[in-house]
Amino acid sequence: MSAGLKICIVGSGPAGMYTAGAIVKKNPESQIDIIDKLATPYGLVRAGVAPDHQTTKNVTRAYDKVMENENVRFVGNVGLSTDVPLEKLREFYDVVVIATGTPKDRNLGIPGEDKEGVFGAQTFVYWYNGHPEYRDAVPNLDINTAVVNAKGTVAKEVARILMRTEDEMMHSDLAEHAASEIFKSPLECVHVVGRRAPENAQFSSKELGEFAELTSAVTYTDKSILPDTFTSEDKKEEKVVNTNLDLLRGFEQTHPGIKGRSIFLDFLASPIEILGEDSITGVRFERNKIVDGKAYSTGESYVLDCQLLVSCIGYEMGILEGLPVEKGIIKNDEGHVDEGLYVVGWAKRGPSGTIGTNRIDSQNVVERMLADFEGGGDPTKKGHAGLDAWCEEKDIHAVSFDDWKKIDAAEVERGGEKSPRKKFVRTRDMLSIVQEKDRPC
Ligand SMILES: Cc1cc2nc3c(=O)[nH]c(=O)nc-3n(C[C@H](O)[C@H](O)[C@H](O)COP(=O)(O)OP(=O)(O)OC[C@H]3O[C@@H](n4cnc5c(N)ncnc54)[C@H](O)[C@@H]3O)c2cc1C
């Protein structure tokens, strides 16, 4: 039996939390430490999910339940690599599970990408969601036109948040510093440009529908390229695409010279060059055509003048010392990386799927892990005592789950009656309300 394993999960996002939950269920004797480089748990649920989508964040209630288990600890403000090397974690624990997500924006790989005013989606979203590492990645929003590249959910969220009014965001937890920049911005127009056709684009009908509800911006699209109907062997897909086509038909017809705040949904175009001297002044796009479901360039190009580009083309792992990274994820065999080393979530599969997708995936990896450790763990491993001693020695101010609850309560109180919370966006401010005696290390 794999009783009494000492396990460290690196990352407290959905994948890390579902991993902890599955271990608690199948192997309740295990000691689980969930470390996170941030003082706040739950990864993209806090720092990614749109601030005006509060109900999605209710999933954290299930994660709170996992944290209530006496064998599970949150050890926040402790980063893998930055505070503790992987080899130390492997020395202390029988099992280390990497659940760091994919924290780096993927590059577009086109000329001009280093100009001011060009942002990856994660940087931009982390900024408006108050991620401490991106607090100072302040975009200049004293602009009239922005381009959001790609047509996935995140692109639509970025466009929507840029166009929402203060009243519309009243019940959100948009970070205060971002709110002040967004609401005073004279931004008039956001172009959301995707490389494929409307019927191939990855839309969620709910979010497309939200464009129609915006109080101060009108959404436009070129209806001449919308097919009358879409058929597919996949009936679920067929239904979603036809709903989206209906929604698009409900938008205004694109025509130049429109006044007021606008969102333009453009299709069949890929960015090939970012224009400007030091700062972006425009993006050159190449027109695409679809052949056998794939987008190919037609050779035609056009320029969209803009002063901000948010590129939402995906994320990757980046480099973490001691981990084999290939094609933007940690190289793994169904979650197994090396002896006693596993990976879950976006770090394992890449950045796709919803919060719920991580549940089954984490459960499968836990099953494999427990089977690998059927003979039990190594009784000489120090487990959390090893990590605590390490934090003590290195003077690392780790944040416990009780500490987080204090930070959480303070944020909720600061939010007042209307907003669910006013986030702290500096780790030092979070630490200042955490008392010494509650430190896990
Ligand atoms: C902008 C955006 C919006 C989204 N909105 C939705 C939505 O509305 N609904 C939905 O279902 N899905 C949504 N998703 C998808 C969902 O967030 C992901 O499926 C999910 O968060 C992936 O979980 P994860 O645990 O693998 O990674 P993450 O959620 O990224 O969690 C990784 C955790 O690891 C920590 N970490 C990273 N590096 C280190 C390190 N070196 N040391 C220690 N800790 C580290 C991070 O701080 C973080 O807490 C969204 C994604 C994005 C990008």
Q: Is 35 in the pocket of ligand 1 (CB under 6 A)?
A: yes
CA distance 414 to 193: 38
Q: Is 332 in the pocket of ligand 1 (CB under 6 A)?
A: no
Q: Is 353 in the pocket of ligand 1 (CB under 6 A)?
A: yes
Of all protein residues, the one whose alpha carbon is nearest to atom 38 of ligand 1 is 100
Q: Which of 100, 134, 154, 352 to mutate to test the pocket of ligand 1 (most atoms within 8 A of CB)?
A: 100
pLDDT of res. 266: 94
Tokens for 4? 């009494």
Containing 19, the helix (H) or strand (E) segment is helix 14-26
Q: Does the structure show a pLDDT above 60 at 183?
A: yes
CA distance 15 to 28: 18
Tokens for 253? 């017809």
Q: Does the structure show a pLDDT above 70 at 56?
A: yes
Model confidence at 202, in pLDDT bands (50, 70, 90)?
Answer: confident
Q: Is 125 in the pocket of ligand 1 (CB under 6 A)?
A: yes
CA–centroid distance, residue 354 to ligand 1 (Å): 10
Residues contacting residue 189 through CB under 8 Å, at least 6 positions apart: 144, 145, 146, 261, 262, 263, 264
Q: Which of 122, 355, 396 to mutate to test the pocket of ligand 1 (most atoms within 8 A of CB)?
A: 355
Ligand 1, closest atom to CA 154?
A: 1
Q: Is 36 in the pocket of ligand 1 (CB under 6 A)?
A: yes
CA–centroid distance, residue 393 to ligand 1 (Å): 30
Q: Is 132 in the pocket of ligand 1 (CB under 6 A)?
A: no
Of all protein residues, the one whose alpha carbon is nearest to atom 33 of ligand 1 is 11
Q: Does the structure show a pLDDT above 80 at 163?
A: yes
Alpha helix segments (H runs only) across 293-433:
346-349, 357-372, 384-394, 401-415, 427-432
pLDDT of res. 139: 94
Q: Is 106 in the pocket of ligand 1 (CB under 6 A)?
A: no
- Range of 223-232, 233-242, 266-275 with top mean pLDDT: 266-275
Of all protein residues, the one whose alpha carbon is nearest to atom 41 of ligand 1 is 80
Q: Do residues 59 and 45 lie in contact, with contact meaning Cβ atoms separated by under 8 Å?
A: yes
Q: Does the structure show a pLDDT above 60 at 257?
A: no
HSE-CB for 386 with a 13 A CA cutoff: 21
Of all protein residues, the one whose alpha carbon is nearest to atom 30 of ligand 1 is 101
Among the residue ranges 135-139, 318-322, 388-392, 398-402, the one predicted with the least confidence is 318-322
302-271-209-167 Cα dihedral, nearest 10 degrees: -90
Q: Which of 35, 49, 63 to mutate to test the pocket of ligand 1 (most atoms within 8 A of CB)?
A: 49
pLDDT of res. 441: 65
CA–centroid distance, residue 209 to ligand 1 (Å): 25
Percent of the chain with pLDDT over 90: 85
CA–centroid distance, residue 13 to ligand 1 (Å): 5
Q: Is 322 in the pocket of ligand 1 (CB under 6 A)?
A: no
Ligand 1, closest atom to CA 121?
A: 1
Q: Is 85 in the pocket of ligand 1 (CB under 6 A)?
A: no
Residues contacting residue 32 through CB under 8 Å, at least 6 positions apart: 7, 8, 9, 20, 23, 24, 69, 71, 72, 73
Q: Does the structure show a pLDDT above 80 at 197?
A: yes
CA–centroid distance, residue 441 to ligand 1 (Å): 25
Tokens for 271? 């960015």
Instruction: Identify which has the larger pLDDT, 59 or 1.
Output: 59
CA–centroid distance, residue 356 to ligand 1 (Å): 12
Model confidence pLDDT, tens digit, residues 78-126: 999 999 999 999 999 999 999 999 999 999 999 999 999 999 999 999 9
Average pLDDT, whole number, for the chain? 93
pLDDT of res. 294: 86
CB atoms within 10 A of CB 420: 15
Q: Is 53 in the pocket of ligand 1 (CB under 6 A)?
A: yes
Model confidence at 363, in pLDDT bands (50, 70, 90)?
Answer: very high
Q: Is 37 in the pocket of ligand 1 (CB under 6 A)?
A: yes
Model confidence pLDDT, tens digit, residues 369-391: 999 999 899 999 999 999 999 99
pLDDT of res. 438: 54
pLDDT of res. 247: 92
Ordered by where they begin, the domains of the chain are 6-103+316-438 (3.40.50.720), 107-313 (3.50.50.60)
What's the CA angle centered on 218, arms 213 and 219, to 5 degrees? Answer: 90
Q: Does the structure show a pLDDT above 60 at 437?
A: no
- Give the mean pLDDT of 128-135: 97
pLDDT of res. 436: 59
Q: Does the structure show a pLDDT above 90 at 401?
A: yes
- Give the mean pLDDT of 299-307: 97
- Give the mean pLDDT of 336-347: 98
